Homo-oligomer: A and B are copies of this chain.
Amino acid sequence: MTETTSPPTLEMVAAVAGVSRSTVSRVVNESPKVTPEAVAAVNAAISKLGYVPNRVARSLASRRTFSIALVIPETTARFFADPFFASVVQGAAFHLAKTEYTLTLLISSETDPEKTRRYLQGGNVDGALILSHHTDDRSYSELAGRLPVVFGGRPMSQEGEDAYVVDADNRAAAEQATRHLIGRGRTRIAHIAGRPNMGASVDRLDGWRRALNAAGLASDLVEGGDFTPHGGADAMRRLLERDPGLDAVFAASDQMASGALAVLKERGLRVPADVAVVGFDNNDFARSSTPPLTTVEQPPTAQGAKMAEVLVRLIEGEEVEHFTLLETRLIVRESS
């Protein structure tokens, strides 16, 4: 049985109820200006026929789809391997469940970014949530002008004022992490920065510097990594060359911190006795390194929910702030 019988239309409901299509439409859309009798007749007809509004036709006429896309610019495999994504999706889905919007997950496999773009621009959705975690992928930045779009994760810093962004409060988090180090009595606190073209890197560097300046400490010990353990290790070596007596390192990612940890061990420096280390992300690298890393936890679920909220408000035409900063939490472990 594949006989998918063609579904009843609004017009058929109108016929059965003995009213016009307009009236049926009004009832379906809960317009207040309909007599109770008409409402009753229409509802009776609806349940008699098992009528379900055709959302496609509705979309075409009203120019609204009530569905929004969550675009994940990663391969499916990587997406599911990363708990960060899962949590963001969860947060978004949870928020959207309270609204009339439906979430469509678009996993844009690298093979066909075009398909995704056509889908997004083709009027299928009222807006899009775009995750750009650990990536400076700007392939979707142009979309922002054609469709309400909210970026999440760690987007470009530049990219103009027209973008809406929900992100962790990197600056405040970095400041807090650095203050934590200062509070532990450290005075030569170095920083391993992320890629300079990413907003997150800049903000974290900035937060680190602020905390040091506020404490009257020097903020000269910076070396750049690339968010990988290897990059972190290289940066650590350069830092030790510049100042063998440094007593703390704040890395802009757990992966870089773990690279730094390896170098410190290789040099016979004890963590945290000789050098305290703090990372950023609170991912598996932080939990499973030796010693476990003190790090900054980002709230992915909250981020997903907030992204959805911002997008919905945007779609509904509300004034929305371009930047929404999420609070982070310092998780103190044995490395500091």
Contact = CB atoms under 8 A, between A and B. Distances in A.
A214 interface: no
A60 B58 CA distance: 10
A105 interface: yes
A59 B123 CA distance: 11
A89 B80 contact: yes
A8 to B, nearest CB: 11
Find the residue from A103, A104, A144 having the highest chain B CB count within 10 A: A104
Contacts of A76: 89-90, 93-94
Interface in A97-112: 97, 100, 102-107, 109, 111-112
Interface of A: 1-5, 7, 52-60, 65, 67, 76-77, 80, 83, 86-87, 89-90, 93-94, 97, 100, 102-107, 109, 111-112, 115, 117-119, 121-124, 144-148, 161-162, 314, 317
Within the oligomer, what is the number of copies of this chain? 2
30 contacts: A1-B144, A1-B145, A1-B161, A2-B148, A2-B314, A2-B317, A4-B145, A4-B147, A5-B145, A7-B146, A52-B122, A55-B119, A55-B122, A55-B123, A55-B124, A56-B59, A56-B60, A56-B123, A57-B60, A57-B123, A76-B94, A77-B90, A94-B109, A97-B109, A97-B112, A100-B115, A102-B106, A103-B105, A103-B107, A104-B105
A55 B121 CA distance: 9
A56 B102 contact: no
A97 B124 contact: no
B103 A56 contact: no
The 5 closest A-B pairs by CB, nearest first: A55-B122, A105-B105, A1-B162, A80-B86, A52-B121
Given A2-B314, A76-B90, A52 B97 contact: no
A118 B109 CA distance: 28
A202 to B, nearest CB: 23
Given A4-B148, A93-B109, A104-B104, A122 B314 contact: no
A87 B268 CA distance: 42
Nearest to A81: B86
Contacts of A56: 56, 59-60, 65, 122-124
Contacts of A93: 76, 107, 109
A89 to B, nearest CB: 7
Given A4-B147, A60-B60, A97-B112, 6 more contacts: A3-B145, A56-B122, A58-B122, A67-B119, A76-B94, A80-B83
Contacts of A107: 93, 103
A123 B2 CA distance: 16
Nearest to A94: B76
